[in-house]
Amino acid sequence: MTSPVETPHPVTGLDDVVHQRVRLGILTIAHEARRVEFGFLRTQLELTAGNLSQHLSVLEAAGLVEVEKGYAGKRGRTWITLTAAGDAALAEEIARLKQLIARVETTGGE
């Protein structure tokens, strides 16, 4: 007798790079804005510049965001843009989270 093929639990598909709270916030804001300034991200996510930089480095190394340095007038600025891979990773993460929510809602605790 063969056992039924079980689909993996949705949590197994969560991406550790994307799922971390701050990085999920960065990707979400970058998705909404298409191009976002470093200072805006820092303020919105209530982070230090160093902490935000570390998270951006992880996302950039994974190919999920592009970081562009330049100037606005005489002030140095850093802009973050979501890549196509970042957009796809965010969409996949959201889909997995929706699957988890659906499981919790259908099993209720009653």
Sorted by where each begins, the domain ranges of the chain are 15-100
**Do 22 and 55 contact (CB within 8 A), yes or no?**
yes
CATH architecture for residues 15-100:
Orthogonal Bundle (1.10)
Query: Residue 15 has what pLDDT?
Result: 85
The region that residue 42 occupies, defined by phi over 0 for left and psi between -120 and 50 for alpha, beta otherwise, is alpha
Q: Give the global pTM.
A: 0.84
Contact criterion met (CB below 8 Å) for 58 and 106: no
pLDDT digits (tens, 9 = 90+) for 39-78: 999 999 999 999 999 999 999 999 999 999 998 888 889 9
The residue with greater pLDDT, 67 or 105, is 67
Edge-to-edge strand list for the sheet holding 75-82: 36-37, 75-82, 65-72
Residue reference for tokens 């909404």: 32
Confidence of residue 5 (pLDDT cuts 50, 70, 90): low
